[in-house]
């Protein structure tokens, strides 16, 4: 079994480590079973790059530029632990193209793309996410496998 960490789960793991349930559970998974997609690379790096372009005169409490560059470098370094990312290939494209527009309008587009990669890869892969709403919508039209590790079992 391989676990595809959605961007929100990977961010939590990197930020909070074992303090949160998802980090605790991720620590029990062997490294070779932990995966991310090219979509997560896109989201995490784009977020850091967007921070670089912000004007400190217009954004209160903005980190100094050297800190923002340091955070970009740190994010890139952390992403390398999951290299190579799972690609959005022609198989994922075919799955993505099969998602009705009404579903794409209800679920986040990047979650649609991550789900498409998982479905294209098959049942040996499960998406780990906090986006229950999006994945519940997606599972109405795709055989997407997903789980929310941010929930503490009773």
For residue 73, being part of any structural domain is answered with: yes
Domain count for the chain, please give it.
1
Among 6-10, 39-43, 101-105, 107-111, the minimum mean pLDDT is found in 6-10
CATH number at residue 33: 3.40.50.1010
For residue 57, being part of any structural domain is answered with: yes
User: Which residue, 25, 29, 74, is CA-closest to 47?
Assistant: 74
Mean pLDDT confidence for 25-29: 88
pTM for this predicted structure: 0.89
Phi-psi map region of 49: left, alpha, beta (phi>0 left; psi -120 to 50 alpha): alpha
Identify the residue whose tokens are 């370094």. 77
For the chain, counts of helices (H) and of strands (E): 8, 4
CA distance 99 to 132: 18
User: For the segment 107-135, what is each residue's pLDDT rounded down to a tens digit?
Assistant: 999 999 999 999 999 999 999 999 899 99
For residue 15, being part of any structural domain is answered with: yes
Q: Which domain holds residue 107?
A: 2-147
Q: What is the pLDDT of residue 23?
A: 81
In the predicted model, is pLDDT for residue 154 greater than 60? no
Q: What is the DSSP string of 1-20?
A: -EEEE-HHHHHHHHHHGGGS
User: Could you tell me what percentage of the chain is helix, strand and coil, using 3-state DSSP and rounding each to the nearest 5?
Assistant: 60, 10, 35
For residue 152, being part of any structural domain is answered with: no
Please check whether residue 61 is in contact with residue 51, taking contact to mean a CB–CB distance below 8 angstroms: no
Among 16-25, 29-38, 41-50, 60-69, the minimum mean pLDDT is found in 16-25
Average pLDDT, the chain: 92
For residue 154, being part of any structural domain is answered with: no
Helix axes 109-121, 90-98, angle to 10 degrees: 120
pLDDT band at residue 9 under the 50/70/90 scheme: confident
């Amino acid at each position: 079994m391989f676990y595809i960490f959605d961007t929100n789960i990977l961010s939590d793991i990197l930020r909070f480590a074992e303090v949160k349930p998802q980090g605790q559970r991720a620590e029990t998974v062997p490294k070779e079973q932990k995966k991310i997609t090219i979509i997560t690379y896109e989201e995490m790096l784009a977020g850091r790059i967007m921070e670089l372009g912000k004007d400190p005169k217009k954004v209160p409490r903005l980190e100094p530029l050297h800190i923002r560059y340091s955070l970009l470098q740190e994010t890139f370094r952390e992403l390398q632990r999951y290299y190579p990312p799972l690609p959005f290939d022609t198989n994922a494209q075919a799955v993505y193209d099969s998602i009705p527009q009404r579903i794409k309008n209800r679920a986040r587009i990047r979650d649609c793309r991550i789900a498409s990669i998982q479905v294209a890869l098959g049942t040996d892969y499960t998406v780990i996410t906090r986006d229950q709403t999006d994945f519940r919508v997606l599972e109405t039209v795709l055989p997407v496998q997903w789980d929310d590790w941010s929930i503490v079992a009773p």
